[in-house]
Structure formats: C-alpha cells, structure tokens
Structure 1
Amino acid sequence: MMHPSDLVTKHFTRLRADQKSALTRLGIVTLRDLLYHFPARYEAAGPTGTVAAVTPGTEVTLYGTIRKPETKKAWKSKRPMAEAWLEDASGRIKLMWFSQPYMAKMVADGMVVKATGRIAGTDKKMYLANPEIDKTPAAPEDVHDTLFKKTEGTPAIIEDALYAIYPESRGISSLWLLHAQKKLFEAHVHEAIEDPIPADILERYNLPTLATALVWVHAPLKKNDSEAARKRFAFEEVFAIQLAMQRERAQTLEEKALQVHVDRKSLSAFIDSFPFPPTGAQQRSIESIIQNFEQTHPMRRLLEGDVGSGKTAVAAATAYMVATSQPPGRNSGTLQVAYMCPTEILAKQHFSTFVSYFKDHPIPIGLMTGSECRKFPSKIRGEESAKVSRAQFAKWVANGEIPIVIGTHALIYKSLEFQNLAYAIIDEQHRFGKMHRQKLTRKGDTSPHLLSMTATPIPRTLALTVYGDLDVSLLDEMPVGRKPIITEILGPEKREEAYKRVREEMAKGRQAYVICPRINEPDPTKELAVQAKSVKAEAERLKEHVFQDATIDILHSKMTPAAKEDVMKRFSSGEVDILVATSVVEVGVNVPNATVILIEGSERFGLAQLHQLRGRVIRSNHQAYCFALPESYGPATKDRLKALTTAKDGFELAEYDLALRGAGELVGGRQWGISDIAMEAIKNMRLVEAARTEAGRLIKEDPELSKYPLLKAIVIRSDERLHME
C-alpha cells in the first residue's frame, strides 16, 4: 500500500546513491513531492509508426534501438557521414546523416531513441535521412492512455500522443520520472491526497478536482487538459496567498496604532521648502498616508515609483508629520520614525538627503550603520552631523530624543528599543515579514504604521497577489524639469557611437557606468561557456583600448561591503570616471553626475531590470543616455529591447516582460516565494481577482479557517514562504 507521505526510497528500493541525491536536488522526498514534480513541457509524439509500416516520402517518428553506429564516406561525393540502424519489434531501417559524421558519436549501440525525419530512397532500399534524435524518449507504450488504462497490444500508430518532459537532475532522467509517475497512478496514490479547495469553489470556476488535475498535468490526452490542470494548481497557490494576506489584513484592523496628529499648515510649509514643487502623484500619496495616520489601526501601504519619481520626498514629508506629533496624552516628546534601507550605502545616502530637507527644522535625525552612528544636528556645528557612540545613540533612541532613525533593516530591528515608534519606512524590501513587524512592535503595545517603498516595477496582478494585505500608492509622474532619458539599442557594429557619447559626456565633467552580466571571464576550456562580458576583463579592455585617459574602477557582488563602499565613495566624489559593474548597482545608488550607462549583453536582462539599471543615470536635470549593447541581435531580441525605447514607464515594461517572457523574468520573480506555475497564472487578472474574492468571503465567514483545516495548513505554508526574509 502506497501513501502520499511515504518516502520515495520506501517504494523505489533500487535507487543508486547518485539517483537519491538527484531526487533530493529536485526537492523530491515523499511520494507527494513526486506527484507535485510537474512536467516542464510536453512533446507530441506525432504520428508514430513501426519500421514495417513506413513508405518513402513521408515524415515519420519512430521509436527503437540504435544498432552499429559508424562514420563513413559518401559513395559518390566522398563527403564524411554517419550511419546507424534503428530496430523495433517489426523490423529495422537505416539512419543516414550526410555531412554530420559526429552523429555516430552522439548515439551508441543499444540506445533507445525517438527518431524523427523523412523517409528517403526506394521501396526496396528505404532510409531515414538526417533524422533528429531524442535520447530520452517515452516509448509509445509509455505514452498516455496506457498510463491509466491497460490496453491490449500497442496500436501501430498513435495520433497526437502527448508525453511529459520533466525537469531532470544528473542521475534522474525525464524517462525515469515518467515511469515513476506511472507506478504512483497505478497504485492510486493521487486519489489518497485530500483536496484542500472547497468543492463549491471548484464548481464555481469550473476547476478540476485535485485527483483529476494530477492526472491531467502528468498525462494530458490533449493540450487543454494540461492547461486546465495548471490553472487549477495556480488558483490553489494564489488563493492560499490571498487567504494569508486577507487574514493578515483582518488582524491589522484589530491592532492599535499611535494616532498621528497632522498639522497641515506646518506640513505645507515643510513641503514648500523642498528644492522642487511636488508632483500630483506625490501629493496624492501624501494625502492617502495622512488619512491612514488619522485611523486607530496601523497603516499598511506600498509606495511604488520609478527611480527618480520622488519616493524619498514622500518619506521625508510623512516622517516630518510623525516627528512633529506628540504622543497621545503627553505635552512633550514626539513620536518616532524608523527608516530602514537594504544597504549601508543607501542608508548614508538617505541620511544626507533627509539632512538637506530638515536643515531648517529643529528635528534630530540619527544614522545607524554597521560602521558608525551619527546624529544631526551636531552640538558644535549645527549644520553638520556628529559621530556618536553606539551606546549613547541607543540611549537617545530609547528615551525618545532622536525622533527619526535611518539605518539598515537588520540593525534597526535587532538592536534598538524605541520609546514611541509610530512609523516604519522600509526601502526596497520585497516583503517585510510579520516577524519583523513584531520585533518593531513593543510587546502588548501598539503597532507602527508601515510604508514599504519599492522602485521595482510590479505589474498590478502581481501586486494584488503578493501585496494583497497592503494598500498601494503609485508615483507615476516625474518631477518637473527632469528630461526623459535617451535610450538606444546598438548592434555590435555601432558600439563606437556609445563610446563617442561617453567621451563627450566625460569632456563635460560627467561620469559613466558600464554594466556587464558576469564578474569573471568564463573558462575558455569549457565548451559551452557563455561568452558574456565579464566586469574584470571589460574594465581592462576599456582602459587599454578605448578610454586610455579615464580613471576606471569595478564593482560587483563578490566584493566585501567595505570595498564596495570605498568604490562607491570614490565614484560619488568624482575620483572615478567610469564604473564597470554587474547589476549590483541597480538598487538605489545615487550619483547625480553620472549621465551615461552602457549595458553589455543587454539581452540577458529582463526589461524591468534594464529599466532599473538605466534609472541610475536619471538623478539630475542633465540629459541622460542609455545604450543597450546586446551580444546576439536577432529579431526577437530587437523586438523585446525596442520596448525600452517606447514604454512610458517601468510599470508598462513589467507588464510587457510578464506577457512576453513569463513572470520568472520580473525582477526577482523567485524572491516573492511564488512558484513558476502561479507566476504564469498571474498574467490572468480574472484568476487573481477570483482568488481574491473567494479568499475575502472565506475569511469573513471563518477568520481562523477552523472549518477548513487543509486550507489552513496550506495558508501557513504559503505565509512562511512569503515571509522568508
């Protein structure tokens, strides 16, 4: 008797050590895991025939065993060629590959293959010309009906048979997985897994039951079957995420927040002191946040905006409201703000931006990073900040003397106790988990208002799925005077145009970025090493042959934080003219004097990522330029990259990426903790909306999901995945 929770090794007893480790790598431990290891794609076996039934001039697919592969010379032309015999139960036929002698080495005697090609020659002397060979075929008897119905004798021709091709790992082939699934279905293991989705919901959206979906995903009789099955699994995952979000939202409404008293007159004066007038989108976002601040439960809001759209100004204006508001029932002291950044470079950058905004207002601001603590204003020189000890800094935060604290995520929530923390701003964190929030919430006390900010353009369906518990504000306008970036896609022959522009900009005292897809040169001995440009080699080449007079430095993810910091300091201060880097510069680094970016191997990046990279040079009112330099410049690359020059913003590009290349291409599709199957479904707005509606209805009816224990277990799992960081 097989049970879904049984270990694979219990029923597959002849596994070799390499096969066991391959299964572990694929995440297959139990029989349930095996059933949930879905095919990557399906192949139509096409009209498959037997050797005895073929006729000249027809396209056929034959399954059989290779015999006697060898290289020869063609009889007339003396060109080298490969030959072999293909044998099945009905007879044998010669396979011939003209001018492809290497094919004799690609196949081996005794290998079972699928051969597809055209039958040539005469009735008496037929051969299969230049056939394509698939070395991990499913033989016709493995395909389809035979998985679930015992048929008497295999028919000579199976029309439109589809068979599954699985993600493999060295030691476990797709064919092994196909046979393993067959064994599970014969033992009805798929019927022993209870369906977590309530039957009425399945019926309402015409979704197959779990048992049916498992059959359809592994052995679809037609393409529609596999699509219906995938839709069902996607719905299940998005539904679980939505339930987790709606539960969280319901819990947030139960939590208490410190109410922020908003003095609109003083806020207007503060905003008027900015070096630029606010955009309509900034004003709308600030207004939404004010409305949240006036509620008794904590705000949970996502602020999305392209690079340079002014998120920091919204953060400063809303932080000002909190830092000038007194705690309820008190005549002195103020509420506090924690502003968390992913890196030290960014924390320092935001600190200096805040200092410039707050310099005419008597509000202390603190900076806490791994290397130092600083406080503004300094007692000695009011317009500057002073370095202070960590202990003193922590003391001032604990007694409320520093209302605004800026630092890295880890430091703030691990090492500080706030007196009246009313507002947490999180920059570039894809999901700020519940556990982080609880760390920031004094035990048994109030919860801070939360603003999560991101420049990662997230399509609406994904935002609704992953941020279902947050309200979303969009900054979809650029500040006045900001010139749109000029983007050009240049094939290899036009590279010099990009270099010319870099020289012109450097002559004006400006700086440039060159982005490469790799850190080190690929190993030339590895035949398939991708010839993507590497940071180190490209920096040397540019120095020697292109920009001999420029100061060039490099930045990549393998450098220590201190080394990265040092390079960025030198680039920010203008000591370095050209920074050659990997996409590590994509997050928030601000060097207003850099106006050109060259992106090598640009076809390797998603559109939204390219958009974020070019955002590095739209930091000032100087005209900025982006040159995308793809290595392979075929029509598909041209079409895709063209969107960079036509889309009006990052959101449009993210939607385009989603439609074109699938959600895995969105910036860090994986980091949201969502499987590829659900990411694909996120293209489907109706499915996401349906999952959202059903989740809302269920949580309203049964907030603890006590009537749905199976669903509850899935929700807990999905919540953990989403809050991994």
Structure 2
Amino acid sequence: MAIEKPDWLRLQKALAIEAEQGFTDLVGRQYRFSEFLCLTFGKFPSGIPSEERDRWQQLAAEYADYSSLDIASRQSLVAQTRRYIHQFISTESGMEVEKIATPKISVSESKPNYKTPNAKSPLSPEISRRLAPALNQKISELSEIGPRQADKLARLGLYTVRDLLYYFPRDHIDYARQVRINELQAGETVTIVATIKSCSCFTSPKNKKLTILELQLRDNTGRLKIGRFYAGARYSSRAWQESIKRQYAAGTVVAVCGLVKASKYGKTIDNPEIEVLANPGDEIESLTIGRVVPIYALTEGVVASLVRQAVTAAMPAAQLIKDPLPKGLRDKYNLMELKDAINNIHFPPDSDSLTGARRRLVFDEFYYLQLGLLQRQHKAKQIQTSAVLVPKGQLVDEFYKILPFQLTGAQQRVINDILGDLQKTVPMNRLVQGDVGSGKTVVAVIALLAAIQSGYQGALMAPTEVLAEQHYRKLVSWFNLLHLPVELLTGSTKASKRRQIHAHLETGELPLLVGTHALIQDPVNFNRLGLVVIDEQHRFGVEQRAKLQQKGAQPHVLTMTATPIPRTLALTIHGDLDVSQIDELPPGRQAIKTTALTSSQREDAYDLMRREIAQGRQVYVVLPLVEESEKLDLRSAVEEHQNLQEAVFPDLKVGLLHGRMSSAEKDEAITKFRDGETQILVSTTVVEVGVDVPNATVMLVENAERFGLSQLHQLRGRVGRGAAQSYCLLMSSSKSADAQQRLKVLEQSQDGFFISEMDMRFRGPGEVLGRKQSGVADFTLASLVEDEQILILARNAAEKVMEIDPTLDRWFLMKEELKYRHERLMGGAILT
C-alpha cells in the first residue's frame, strides 16, 4: 500500500506551522514538533533509494537535537527540510511506497491467531529484519535517540535495545472501542469520530498563562462539547491561537479519544487526544486514538513521549528474537511466539492481542523462576553425602511414651514425611507449615531425636531470644525425662557459659543446641551435626540459613513456619523445597472469639478484661509502637502501660514488654506474666511468637489496622492455648472501608491459610513476608494474586522439561535465557 498524498501534506503542514509560530518546537496532540520529525525520518519508506537513506538518518539525528539549537539554526534546518521534502516528492512521484504494516501471524495452525501490530505500529517484519538494530546495541547509538536522550533513559535503567524491548508497559488504556456520541458512558475510555460544529481558542481570564481550546462536536446521534488546556505563555499568543482555530475549523472531521466524564453540563471527554481526518471513513493514524495505548513507568526528567519514541525505534529488533521455548511447548500451553508477544505488549492492535501477549510474558516470568528453583533442587539431590538417620529407636520410642497427648493425624503424616527423608543420603530440605498451636515443635523434636539416636547432633535456630527460650523450656522438660542434655545459646549468654557450650559441642557431649543468630557465629563448631531445624525461617536471610548448614557436612535441614503461606507464594519462594502442612489442630481447642471494635467501644473491651481477670485469667494488650510518635496518632506501649496501670486498672499489676528492653528485663517481664504475678502484659509485637501462657484468654490489639492479617492471626494465637474460651479484640480508629473489610476477615475465619491468601490480596506478597528477607521476586508483569493459574501451568511445564533433560543441554536458547534472567533479573537471591 502506498503512502498517500495527505501523509506528505501533514509533514509539510507541520513544517509550515513550526515556521509560522517562530520555531518554538511546538507541542502537538501527541508529540513535540522535533519528536514528530525525528520519528518520521527515523524509519525509511519501503523502496527508498539507498543513497537517500543517509540523508534521512541525518535529518532524524538533527531533529533529535532540535530543542538545543538556537532560533537561527532551527530556521535553517526547517528551511532545508522543506526544500528536501519538496524535491523528494517530485523525484519519487509515481513510485509506490509501502505503508508500514504487519500481517497477522498465528502461533500454530491449530491455535488461535494472535495479531501482531497493525498499521498503527512501527515496522513490518520484512523492513524490521533489514533495518533492525542489534539487541545489545546501546540506545545512544540509535539515530532516533542520540546520547543526550539516552542519558535520560538511563535513569530508568535502560541502556540497550533489549532493555527497551523488555521495558513492558505498566498498564494500558483501551481506546480501541469506537462509539457514537449518544452511546457515551461515564467512566469508559472510548474513541469517537465526529464533525466540528464550532471552535474557540482563548486565554483564560483567570490565568494569563493558560489557554483553553473548546470544540463543539456532532455526529448523526448527538452533540458533545470537549476542551483541552495548554499551560505556558507561548500558547497565549494570538498567532498560535488563530492557527489552532484554522486547524480545527468548522466542518473538519476529527477522531477524539479519552475518558468519558459526567459534569453538570452533561457528558464530555476529559483532556482528549484529537486527530484531524480528511474524511469520516479514513483510517486513524495516531499511535493513541482508536487503539490500546501503552502506559510506561516514568521518572523525573523522562517524559512518556521519549520512552514511546525509544521503544518505537527498538521495535524492529523484536523480529530478530529467537524464541527460547520450543514450538511443541508453546503449542501445548497455547503461548504466543515471543517476538509477537513483545510487539503486542507494546503496540497491541486490540485487547485480545494484549491478553495473549501478557499471558505469554507472564508465563515466561514464572517459568524461568520455577526452572531455576527445580534445577537447584535437582543439584541438591545429586549430593549423596548426608547422614543416614535411623527413624526408629529407643529415644523416639521413649518420647512417644512420655507425651501426655495423642498426636494428630496431620502431625503423624508430616513425621512420616520427615523420617522418610532422613533415611536417604540425599540431604533433606523440607518446609513444615502449620498454623499457630498446630504442634510443629513436637514434630521437630522427633526428627531431632532420630538424629541423636543415630549418633549425630542437632541444632534448632529461632529468630528471637523470646522464641529461642520458649523452645528451650519445652525441650528441657522433655529431654530431662530422656536424660539428654540441651543448652541455650543467645547473645545474652554469659562468656563462661558460652565457652562451656562451645567445648561440649566440639567433643560431642552436647547432642542438641537451641539458639538465635549466635549459632552461626564462627566459634560454634559441632562435632557431628546431622540435622538443622530453623523456626520462622522467613525471618532469616538466605546467607544466615546457609551459614548454619555449613556447620556440618551436608546436614539435613527442616524449616518451620507458623505463618501460613499462600500456595502461589510458597511455589515462588519455596519452589526448591519439599513442603508438608500440619493442617489440623489438636482436639479440644476452642475457636477464639474475634471482634473488631471502634474507639467508642473501649469500655466494653475493658469490661471483658475485668471479667476474665476476676476469674483468674490474664490479658495481653498489643500496640504497634514503643513510644508515642509525633507524626502518627497511635497509642504507644509505654504510654498505654502508664495509662492502664494508673487510670484504668490501678488495682491490678500491669507489665510492660518491648524490643528496646534488655534481655534481662524481657525475661523478667515474661516470667512475671507466666507465673501470674502480672495480670495484664502491655507489649509490642515481640509477643507475636514465643510467649506461651495457657492462662491468657484475652488479646486486645490497639490500632489493629496498622497490622497485616497474618500478623494479627499470629498475635491472636497467643491466646486460646488452654481449655478456657478466649477472645481477640481488634481495636481500630480507622473509618476506611478497606481497613474494616480486612478486620472482618479475622472475625469470620480461624484458618491461617485462608487468612494468608486474603492478606496477600490486600497487601501484596512482598509485604506479607517482608520483602528484604523473603526473596519475593519483583515481577515485571506477573501477579501472584491474579495469575495463579499461569503460575501452576509454568510449574507444570518446568517439571516436564526437567524430567526430560535437567541440564537443559538440548535446549541451548532456553538454558541461556535462564542464565540471563537468573544473573540479571533475579540476582540469585530469590533461590532460597
């Protein structure tokens, strides 16, 4: 198809208007004048003689620097260009020049046809392959960009052509739906084609630097008034305003797109994009109007038009991309070819093409992550040097006898999983998930006893001294009956005791050591470490967990968490682990009655606390802050402790616990509460895990809206550990509907896994676990909340590929892509 006369006329008109307005680099509907000229000369029409191409590239480069030229230089360049265009049209008259277009390409004959970009997109495959820049070419070397603009793009981390192709839009606005004026609905993004009935352009009477363009439009169904605003003194000139009136003269046909809004004067289109058409049925040329528009993430000093211009310049290189996924795999999972997906994610001709492109690219993000995790798991299982532990023996049998309760079916199932792993020379790497109070510690003890009776040592590491001491107390009560020594090592352990522990570890006299990060310090040397247990493992960094494992020769590793993890999140951060779930609570546990309260119901909460304390029970009061904040209107632990002790419950003993206290002070506060010397314990979230007082029946959480759902569920788990009915009161001063909805989830459910799913939906995966240590990937397009089914497909595909060839040697491109993504995008930290 040839470029018709109006295309050349538009270019000549742009040059004429720029000259008329004094070479000010006018801002058009979509581009600045210089950007429009740079884009125009940045791509060759098909059939252009080779001797002309250098001239086109030179003009593109000159207009890339247009904004930095003085007025005289601009005038000279525009004059030269107008003469050149006139000469070019005259010389090439009669020559057919292909219009830039891309045909539809299907993934396979048996699959749906996904469209690659249509005439509104940059280049056809044939032209692209001939003119495409290399994927690793620097952006500064692109004639349409140049060094100055490349420096700006570097602020977004964009340096090469490949970076641009993979800089996917953060969102899209769909202007592809064309409607009539009487069909406009507020809140929709649409395109209309209408005729201008009248046009006015004037300076705002209230702001001399603001110019207003108002158009009255009509089609055969109705009328519509639209307006655009131009901020800047140069738009206030009479000459500019008159030129706009000529451009949008009465009777002119225009295509208009934007968001429909309802006002007191009726419906309108907010700050619309406008394109003049020669005739009502003409094709719309704009890269915005009548199509799905990409929206890119920007930063200071980088405008949308620059990113769009750079991506457009890079798009020909997409035709050079070789798809790392074999055709059979693409067909099986109905995936668009990679080069088509990249085209369609940037310049989708319609919403279906965008959906197909996004699905393929999301699949890739999940697939290579899962492939990396499975490869890591495969390599770990090639190690055949771990200790083979005896699952049955005297210690394990004796422990079963001294247990005062029957194990649940879920506990026994998980124990069987663990003991099966311990009999292999391949090191165990298993995660045990269990809700608060589900009995994970008992499961870990049986595994530790299996190691000890096999002649090995065990280590149990917890993230806080409070939790480490809690585990130590439980283990001492059991191990004393089995005549086994166990020690506690934390930052508070005295030097003399520390030396004694180190000595007994090295000789093998000490079979089990419980502790915090102190366990991974250099002086701690085990004689024969066979099993490592890590509690609340997501609170430790990858390196910290690895250091403890390095204290032995490929010890088995059992990690535990009382923070239930949603399925998608577990696959993402623990895809290289075997996972077991204790999804059953011990019999006799009563559901904790949970109620969301407002500040006006505070006295009701205090009445409940008094009633429970009168029956000999105890109460937790948890706050988000240690001391009062000037910036946040929140209750602090220190202030609330004073208030409760002096004003509300002067006849009771109120204790205080927070993270800034010394270890001795913490121990004293917990001991007094555990022994019943204090009836109320005011605390920060230091009580979230580890404090086990079965006599406590009320948990009051102040400013509950400040906590995540999973954290609130953890806090709730501090009560309900005895036989008596327990209560959780969630006090909130927030009137936000979202905050109230979140708290309703806790009122209605005791299921930690359901709560964690909802927490991820409300806050996102990074916030649920804590982004710094959790290893949650920063996906470009994928969402763990919305794309669960694609993640499961990607995991399935990765598993099948690993079954065929875990080395990936038969798929060189796939192996290289995995290496690139692992090193460049994930940095290795995601693999736990």
TM (norm. structure 2) is: 0.66
Q: Which runs of 5+ in 2 are unaligned?
A: 1-131, 192-198, 218-223, 237-256, 276-281
Counterpart of 1:356, as a letter, is S
Give the conservation status (yes or no) of the 8 Å contact 2:341–2:360.
yes
The residue aligned with 2:665 is 566
Give me the whole-angstrom Cα distance separating, in 1, the residues matched to 2:367 and 2:285. 44
Structure 2 residue 244 is the aligned partner of structure 1 residue 117: no
The residue aligned with 1:646 is 748
Following superposition, the deviation at residue 510 of structure 1 comes to 1.0
Following superposition, the deviation at residue 270 of structure 1 comes to 0.8
The residue aligned with 1:690 is 793
Which of 410, 414, 417 matches 2:525?
417
Following superposition, the deviation at residue 720 of structure 1 comes to 4.5
Tell me whether 605-614 or 452-461 shows the greater mean CA deviation: 605-614
Q: Say if 1:47 and 1:463 are closer, same or farther in 2 by CA, change over 3 A.
A: closer
Give the conservation status (yes or no) of the 8 Å contact 1:431–1:722.
no
Structure 2 residue 554 is the aligned partner of structure 1 residue 447: yes
Following superposition, the deviation at residue 32 of structure 1 comes to 4.3
3-state SS of paired residue (2:587):
coil
Tell me whether 192-201 or 614-623 shows the greater mean CA deviation: 192-201
Structure 2 residue 538 is the aligned partner of structure 1 residue 430: yes
Q: List per-residue Cα deviations over 1:248-270 (Å, max 9, x = no partner).
A: 22223322221112335642331
Give the conservation status (yes or no) of the 8 Å contact 2:699–2:716.
yes
Give the conservation status (yes or no) of the 8 Å contact 2:657–2:669.
no
Which of 351, 356, 359 matches 1:231?
359
1:94-173 equivalences under 5 Å are: 117-118=261-262, 139=273, 154=286, 158-159=289-290, 161-169=291-299, 171-172=300-301
Q: Say if 1:9 and 1:578 are closer, same or farther in 2 by CA, change over 3 A.
A: farther
Give the conservation status (yes or no) of the 8 Å contact 2:161–2:314.
no
The residue aligned with 2:438 is 309
Q: Say if 1:90 and 1:438 are closer, same or farther in 2 by CA, change over 3 A.
A: same
Q: Which runs of 5+ in 1 are unaligned?
A: 73-82, 97-103, 122-127, 142-149, 326-333, 374-386, 524-529
Give the conservation status (yes or no) of the 8 Å contact 1:69–1:107.
no
Which of 344, 363, 369 matches 2:465?
344
Which of 772, 777, 798 matches 1:674?
777
Give the conservation status (yes or no) of the 8 Å contact 2:596–2:729.
yes
Counterpart of 1:710, as a letter, is E
Give the conservation status (yes or no) of the 8 Å contact 1:398–1:419.
yes
Give me the whole-angstrom Cα distance separating, in 1, the residues matched to 2:690 and 2:232. 54
Which of 172, 188, 193 matches 1:42?
172
Following superposition, the deviation at residue 184 of structure 1 comes to 2.0
Give the conservation status (yes or no) of the 8 Å contact 1:664–1:676.
no
Following superposition, the deviation at residue 279 of structure 1 comes to 1.9
Counterpart of 2:363, as a letter, is F
Give the conservation status (yes or no) of the 8 Å contact 2:573–2:830.
no
Structure 2 residue 310 is the aligned partner of structure 1 residue 202: no
Give the conservation status (yes or no) of the 8 Å contact 1:601–1:629.
yes
Give me the whole-angstrom Cα distance separating, in 2, the residues matched to 1:417 and 1:471. 28
3-state SS of paired residue (1:453):
strand
Which of 371, 391, 402 matches 1:243?
371
Give me the whole-angstrom Cα distance separating, in 1, the residues matched to 2:364 and 2:438. 36
Give the conservation status (yes or no) of the 8 Å contact 1:316–1:357.
no
Following superposition, the deviation at residue 484 of structure 1 comes to 1.8
The residue aligned with 1:462 is 569
3-state SS of paired residue (1:252):
helix
Give the conservation status (yes or no) of the 8 Å contact 2:296–2:307.
no
Give me the whole-angstrom Cα distance separating, in 2, the residues matched to 1:413 and 1:193. 49
Which of 601, 604, 607 matches 2:709?
607
Give me the whole-angstrom Cα distance separating, in 1, the residues matched to 2:663 and 2:283. 65
RMSD: 4.6
Q: Say if 1:57 and 1:454 are closer, same or farther in 2 by CA, change over 3 A.
A: closer
Tell me whether 531-540 or 245-254 shows the greater mean CA deviation: 531-540
3-state SS of paired residue (1:358):
helix
Give the conservation status (yes or no) of the 8 Å contact 1:606–1:666.
yes
Give me the whole-angstrom Cα distance separating, in 2, the residues matched to 1:235 and 1:354. 46
The residue aligned with 1:184 is 311
Which of 489, 514, 517 matches 2:596?
489
Give me the whole-angstrom Cα distance separating, in 1, the residues matched to 2:465 and 2:576. 29
The residue aligned with 2:221 is none
Counterpart of 1:501, as a letter, is L
Give me the whole-angstrom Cα distance separating, in 2, the residues matched to 1:522 and 1:27. 37
Give me the whole-angstrom Cα distance separating, in 1, the residues matched to 2:359 and 2:517. 37
The residue aligned with 1:146 is none
Give the conservation status (yes or no) of the 8 Å contact 2:274–2:289.
yes
Following superposition, the deviation at residue 221 of structure 1 comes to 3.9
Following superposition, the deviation at residue 312 of structure 1 comes to 1.1
Give me the whole-angstrom Cα distance separating, in 1, the residues matched to 2:643 and 2:226. 52
Give me the whole-angstrom Cα distance separating, in 2, the residues matched to 1:518 and 1:456. 24
3-state SS of paired residue (2:481):
coil
Give me the whole-angstrom Cα distance separating, in 2, the residues matched to 1:456 and 1:578. 26
Give me the whole-angstrom Cα distance separating, in 2, the residues matched to 1:34 and 1:584. 46
Q: Say if 1:658 and 1:639 are closer, same or farther in 2 by CA, change over 3 A.
A: same
Following superposition, the deviation at residue 469 of structure 1 comes to 2.5
Following superposition, the deviation at residue 305 of structure 1 comes to 0.4
TM (norm. structure 1) is: 0.75
The residue aligned with 1:383 is none
Q: Say if 1:659 and 1:295 are closer, same or farther in 2 by CA, change over 3 A.
A: same
3-state SS of paired residue (1:490):
strand
The residue aligned with 2:213 is 87
Counterpart of 1:372, as a letter, is T
Q: Say if 1:297 and 1:47 are closer, same or farther in 2 by CA, change over 3 A.
A: closer
Give the conservation status (yes or no) of the 8 Å contact 1:491–1:630.
yes
Give me the whole-angstrom Cα distance separating, in 2, the residues matched to 1:200 and 1:89. 54
Which of 509, 513, 533 matches 2:621?
513
Q: List per-residue Cα deviations over 1:196-222 (Å, max 9, x = no partner).
A: 434432232122233333333344444
Give the conservation status (yes or no) of the 8 Å contact 2:394–2:453.
no
Q: List per-residue Cα deviations over 1:321-356 (Å, max 9, x = no partner).
A: 21122xxxxxxxx21111111222222221122111
The residue aligned with 1:400 is 508
Give me the whole-angstrom Cα distance separating, in 1, the residues matched to 2:309 and 2:729. 52
Aligned residues between the structures: 648
Give me the whole-angstrom Cα distance separating, in 2, the residues matched to 1:657 and 1:511. 26
